[in-house]
C-alpha cells in the first residue's frame, strides 16, 4: 500500500512538472511562427529580416531578403539590439530556430512588440524563400 502511494505521488509530481515546463517553454507568446505565417506577415508588413547565425554561416548562404546579419553567439546581436527601432517589425532566423528564438525573446523583454522567430534557414529555403 505504501509503495502505491509513493508511486502515485511521484507520477503526480512528474506530470505537474511536465505541465509547468510545457507552459514555460510553449510559444504562447506568439514569437515563433512558421514559414507560411512568415510569408503572410511579410505581405502585410515587410519589416526587418535579421540572420542571427555566424558570419561564416551567413557567407555560405542566406535569405535574399536579409537586412542584417548579427551573430548571436559572439554577442554582436546583444550589442546591436539597443540601437534598433522598437516601433518596427522584426523577423529573425538562424540555422534551426533556436538562436533566433532566444534572440526574439530577448527583444520582447527589451520592449519590442513586433518581433518573430521565423525558424531555420534550411526550412525557409525549402518553403520557397529565395537564398543567395
Distances (CA, A) of 108 to 89, 111, 132: 11, 5, 29
Chosen CATH of 31-126 out of 3.40.980.10, 1.10.3720.10, 3.40.250.10, 1.10.10.10: 3.40.250.10
Q: How confident is the model at residue 1 (pLDDT cuts 50, 70, 90)?
A: confident
Determine how many CB atoms are found less than 10 A away from the CB of residue 79.
Answer: 11
The 8-class DSSP code of residue 32 comes to: B
Q: In the numeric block, which cell numbers belong to residue 101?
A: 528564438
Residue range 69-79: average pLDDT? Answer: 97
Q: Where are the domains of the chain?
A: 1-27, 31-126
In residues, how long is the chain? 132
Q: In the numeric block, which cell numbers belong to residue 132?
A: 543567395
Share of the chain above pLDDT 90, in %: 77
Residue pLDDT, tens place only, 84-108:
999 999 999 999 999 999 999 999 9
Residue 119, pLDDT above cutoff 70: yes
Amino acid at each position: 500500500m505504501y509503495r502505491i502511494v509513493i508511486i502515485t505521488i511521484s507520477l503526480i509530481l512528474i506530470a505537474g512538472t511536465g505541465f509547468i515546463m510545457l507552459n514555460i517553454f510553449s510559444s504562447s507568446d506568439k514569437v515563433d511562427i512558421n514559414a507560411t505565417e512568415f510569408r503572410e506577415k511579410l505581405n502585410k508588413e515587410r519589416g526587418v529580416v535579421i540572420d542571427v547565425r555566424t558570419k561564416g554561416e551567413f557567407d555560405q548562404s542566406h535569405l535574399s531578403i536579409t537586412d542584417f546579419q548579427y551573430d548571436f553567439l559572439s554577442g554582436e546581436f546583444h550589442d546591436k539590439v539597443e540601437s534598433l527601432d522598437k516601433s518596427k517589425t522584426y523577423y529573425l532566423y538562424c540555422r534551426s530556430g533556436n538562436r533566433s528564438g532566444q534572440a526574439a525573446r530577448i527583444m520582447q523583454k527589451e520592449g519590442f512588440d513586433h518581433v518573430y522567430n521565423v525558424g531555420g534557414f534550411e526550412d525557409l529555403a525549402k518553403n520557397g524563400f529565395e537564398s543567395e
